[in-house]
């Protein structure tokens, strides 16, 4: 680590995107899973990707380079595997967890269901939820040490290993009695202590302990557990320096947090800026610790306002001198794309105002250089001026001009739907569905043939007419398949859509798209979020043609399929010059016109998916009411203009239902489907105390796992659900869209689902 700075100030990173500039990581994993790559080949290719990422960070001039932030699937899964926390349903007898078992925990296998997967705080990244069960945690494989040694021996890098801290790891795990939190924490600490001791013995200088759960509400009991844990770990490895890193918001219990026996505290000064500045003013900062100041946004893709950050750092330096300060991103850079190098087709005023991971590393290094050498040093001065001009040009774009027109609130007030009970009667007459109707969430397999057709069209080798004909062939085939399977409500399959957000962004004003702006969503699944950089407007119907064609092929209802305004917002990189609420309203008004277009074309079931509603829920309880008010308002603005006989559906992903039940009611959708199969039991417990009086479908099988569930397995889930939900309102569906699944697997799973539904009807 280079510490020869003029005033002691250093710069660092918290984590780097693992997927590779051209998604090499994803491709190697999928080749291995597909039997095209041996384990030794996989591990060798992953090592090269990992070392290349370390080289890039060293070349950026960083003083602190993270190691062990890289993973073969997920870092929470890595931590569980390191401590031997393998659920009993997997074939594991101790020792280092075999790669086959590791991936089975993430993806399932023929004999065992995968571990639960859920969102990482307020991001679109999904982590694997560790399960404690009856196993006692023990260190079975110190991968943290191995990756530290690799960086040092292969590249000469004295890296800073990254480890999920014990509080966050336990807080996000399952399989234990929450009333025994402190006791379970005590069982976990010896494994952590051994890991730290082995690092200390190897001569590791610093360890980054990620504790993002400390920005959420922390009870007195939990804070005591945190204090006890860090005192225990400090005693176990007193020479190992710890950076306790928080992110995604301001740290709770700041004064107690900074008193812990660690040598540095990392604070998010982007998301938690105001509260952290207030805490620094009120409580100061300990003189025996470093402050890791997260001043470059690790979650969004806009250039940093460097003048603003230099002023911020100068104000902080009045409390914490520069020699005790580390400049870094607000969180890991895994949430942004890697490099702008391929994005030559973007409008110049937009491209120049962007910063992906590599550009953010340059910004961090530039901030450090500006402080150490002075803003008037020639190179620093030139680069700061270029940054100012780029931001100024973006601000001047006519696409960002202030809008005039009728406020969204006025439109919503002018049209609210009649009560659900009255609408339901109209819909029952219109559709005449059986008890426990079956449907899917929307998408069907995007086969190699589908991807090839889209590629030929985009490259100009197919005409628009050829491509449209191809899409109609796919729709026709899958309408016939759904009829044969016996589903009650059909979908057109979304074969024309690369991504549920990108598709709509391409047809709305105000969006831009990258060539290579990929980020990881879960496992090897990567997404390419659109950029909302201007005002959003409806231009022409987006889904009517395909949906109407599908409806013409069947007498059964076909759902129109839209992505909701809050999900488009949360799954895009969003302009930061106006409030997110305002962008959500622009999206809602545009989607409202699409809903109206579908209804006018004769489509009477319209699904407006909001899988990211929960994802956007602020981590601070005091901030949630405001968010839910405008998020629910945006959904209702998009959907409230239809007739009573038109049925509005929505879909949500892994969701703490009890946290959101009031907001979900206020959405006023006629039917909601919730992605629940990996955590079905926990969700059903919520219905024992909170009733839900509208149509609801709980996913009866997990589409993220490459296995065909049995009829009995799904029947069991249906029976459990019907103990707490009325059969008259219950729908049966998969957990989520089927885009990533194989055709044969999809057909067989849906046949089992329909058979399970029929058995449940007979039992009723």
Q: Which are the catalytic amino acids?
A: 704
Contacts of 642 (CB under 8 A, 6+ apart): 417, 595, 596, 599, 606, 648
| Residue 401: count of CB within 10 angstroms of its CB | 10
Helix (H, G, I), strand (E, B) or coil at 568: helix
**DSSP code string of 259-316:** TSS-SEEEEETTTTHHHHHHHHHHH---TTSEEEEEEE-SSS-BPP-HHHHHHHHHHH
Do residues 208 and 161 lie in contact, with contact meaning Cβ atoms separated by under 8 Å? yes
Nearest to 33 by CA among 90, 115, 127, 109: 109
Coil, helix or strand at residue 608: strand
- Contact assessment for residue 715 and residue 759, using Cβ atoms and an 8 Å cutoff: yes
The four Cα atoms 350, 355, 358, 360 give a dihedral, to 10 degrees, of 160
Q: What is the C-alpha separation between 671 and 561, in angstroms, rounded?
A: 14
Distance CA 633, CA 627 (A): 10
- Partnered with residue 526 across adjacent β-strands are 520
Residues 157/115, Cβ–Cβ less than 8 Å: no
Rounded Cα distance between 537 and 529, Å, is 18
Q: Is the CA virtual torsion 367, 373, 374, 375 positive or negative?
A: negative
Q: Diameter of the chain by CA atoms?
A: 80
Provide the β-strand partners of residue 96. Answer: none
- Proportion of the chain in helix, strand, coil states, percent, rounded to 5: 45, 15, 40
Q: Is 107 annotated as a binding residue?
A: no
Which residue, 153, 170, 159, 184, is CA-closest to 69?
159
Is 25 within any annotated ligand binding site? yes
736 annotated to bind ligand: yes
Distance CA 352, CA 644 (A): 48
The answer to whether 654 and 676 are in contact (CB under 8 A) is yes
3-state secondary structure of 678: helix
Task: Give the CA angle between residues 701, 707, 712 to the nearest 5°.
Answer: 50
- Please check if 609 is assigned to a binding site: yes
d(CA 651, CA 666): 14
Strands of the sheet with 531-538, listed across from one edge: 508-512, 531-538, 573-574
Rg (C-alpha) for the chain, rounded Å, is 26
- Nearest CA to 690 out of 727, 709, 662 is that of 662
Q: At what angle do helices 39-59 and 24-33 cross, to 10 degrees?
A: 170
φ, ψ for residue 311, nearest 5 deg: -65, -40
Tell me: is residue 526 an annotated ligand-binding position.
yes
26 is in an annotated binding site: yes
119 among the known binding-site residues? yes
Residue 442 labeled ligand binder? yes
86 phi, psi to nearest 5 deg: -105, 125
Q: Which residues are CB-neighbours of 436 under 8 A, at least 6 positions away?
A: 718, 727, 730, 731, 732, 757, 760, 761, 764
Positions at the binding site: 23-26, 119, 441-443, 494, 525-526, 571, 609, 615, 651, 653, 675, 736
Positions at the binding site for Zn(2+): 651, 653, 675, 736
Positions at the binding site for 5-methyltetrahydropteroyltri-L-glutamate: 23-26, 119, 525-526, 571, 615
Positions at the binding site for L-methionine: 441-443, 494, 609
């Amino acid at each position: 680590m280079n510490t020869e700075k003029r005033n002691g100030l250093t710069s660092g990173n918290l984590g780097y995107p693992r997927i590779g500039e051209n998604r090499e990581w994803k491709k190697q994993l999928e080749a291995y899973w597909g039997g095209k790559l041996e384990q030794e080949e996989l591990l060798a290719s992953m090592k090269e990707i990992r070392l290349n990422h370390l080289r890039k960070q060293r070349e950026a001039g960083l003083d602190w380079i993270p190691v062990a932030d890289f993973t073969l699937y997920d870092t929470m899964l890595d931590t569980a595997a390191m401590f031997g926390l393998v659920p009993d349903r997997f074939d594991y007898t101790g020792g280092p967890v075999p790669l086959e078992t590791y991936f089975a925990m993430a993806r399932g296998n023929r004999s065992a269901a995968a571990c639960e997967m859920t969102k990482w705080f307020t991001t679109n990244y999904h982590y694997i939820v560790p399960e404690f069960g009856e196993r006692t945690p023990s260190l079975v494989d110190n991968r943290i040490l191995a990756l530290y040694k690799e960086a040092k021996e292969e590249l000469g890098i004295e890296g800073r290993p990254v480890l999920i801290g014990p509080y966050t790891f336990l807080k996000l795990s399952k399989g234990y009695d929450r009333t025994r939190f402190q006791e379970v924490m005590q069982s976990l600490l010896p494994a952590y202590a051994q890991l730290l001791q082995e690092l200390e013995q190897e001569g590791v200088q610093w360890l980054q302990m990620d504790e993002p759960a400390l920005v959420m509400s922390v009870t007195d009991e939990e804070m005591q557990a945190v204090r006890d844990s860090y005192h225990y770990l400090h005693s176990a490895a007193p020479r190992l320096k710890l950076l306790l890193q928080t992110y995604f918001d301001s740290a709770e219990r700041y004064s107690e947090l900074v008193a812990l026996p660690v040598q540095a505290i990392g604070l998010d000064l982007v998301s938690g800026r105001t509260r952290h500045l207030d805490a620094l003013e009120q409580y100061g900062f300990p003189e025996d610790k470093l402050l890791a100041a997260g001043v470059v946004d690790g979650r969004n893709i806009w250039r940093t306002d460097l003048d603003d950050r230099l002023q911020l750092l100068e104000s902080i330096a009045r409390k914490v001198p520069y020699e005790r300060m580390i400049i870094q991103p607000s969180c890991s850079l895994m949430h942004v794309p890697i490099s702008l190098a391929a994005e030559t087709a973007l409008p110049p005023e937009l491209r120049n105002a962007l910063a992906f991971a590599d550009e953010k590393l340059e910004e961090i290094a530039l901030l450090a250089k500006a402080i150490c050498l002075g803003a008037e040093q020639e190179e620093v001065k030139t680069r700061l001026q270029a940054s100012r001009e780029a931001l100024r040009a973006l601000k001047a774009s006519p696409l960002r001009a202030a809008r005039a027109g009728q406020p969204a609130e006025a439109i919503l007030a002018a049209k609210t739907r009649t009560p659900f009970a009255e609408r339901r009667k109209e819909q029952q007459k219109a559709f005449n569905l059986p008890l426990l109707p079956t449907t899917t969430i929307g998408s069907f397999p995007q086969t190699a043939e589908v991807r090839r057709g889209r590629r030929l069209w985009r490259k100009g080798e197919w005409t628009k007419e050829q491509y449209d004909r191809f899409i109609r062939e796919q729709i026709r085939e899958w309408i016939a398949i759904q009829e044969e399977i016996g589903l009650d409500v059909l979908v057109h399959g979304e074969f024309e859509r690369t991504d549920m957000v990108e598709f709509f962004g391409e047809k709305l004003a105000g969006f831009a798209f990258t060539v290579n702006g990929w980020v990881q969503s879960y496992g090897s699944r990567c997404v390419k979020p659109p950029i909302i950089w201007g005002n959003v407007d409806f231009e022409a119907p987006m889904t009517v043609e395909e949906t109407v064609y599908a409806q013409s092929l069947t007498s059964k209802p076909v759902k129109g399929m839209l992505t909701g305004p809050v999900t488009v917002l949360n799954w895009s990189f969003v302009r930061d010059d106006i409030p997110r609420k305002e962008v959500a309203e622009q999206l809602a008004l545009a989607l409202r016109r699409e809903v109206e277009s579908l209804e006018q074309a004769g489509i009477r079931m319209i699904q407006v998916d909001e899988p990211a509603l929960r994802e956007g829920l602020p981590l601070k309880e005091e901030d949630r009411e405001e968010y839910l008010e405008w998020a629910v308002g945006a959904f209702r603005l998009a959907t409230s203009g239809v007739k009573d006989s038109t049925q509005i559906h929505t879909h949500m992903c892994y969701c703490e239902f009890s946290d959101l039940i009031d907001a979900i009611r206020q959405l006023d959708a006629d039917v909601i489907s919730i992605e629940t199969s990996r955590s079905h039991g926990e969700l059903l417990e919520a219905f024992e105390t909170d009733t839900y009086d509208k149509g609801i479908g709980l996913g009866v099988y997990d589409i993220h796992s490459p296995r065909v569930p049995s009829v009995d397995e799904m029947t069991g889930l249906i029976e459990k659900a019907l103990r707490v939900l009325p059969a008259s309102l219950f729908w049966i569906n998969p957990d989520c869209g089927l885009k990533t699944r194989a055709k044969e697997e999809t057909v067989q799973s849906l046949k089992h689902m329909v058979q399970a539904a029929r058995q449940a009807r007979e039992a009723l």
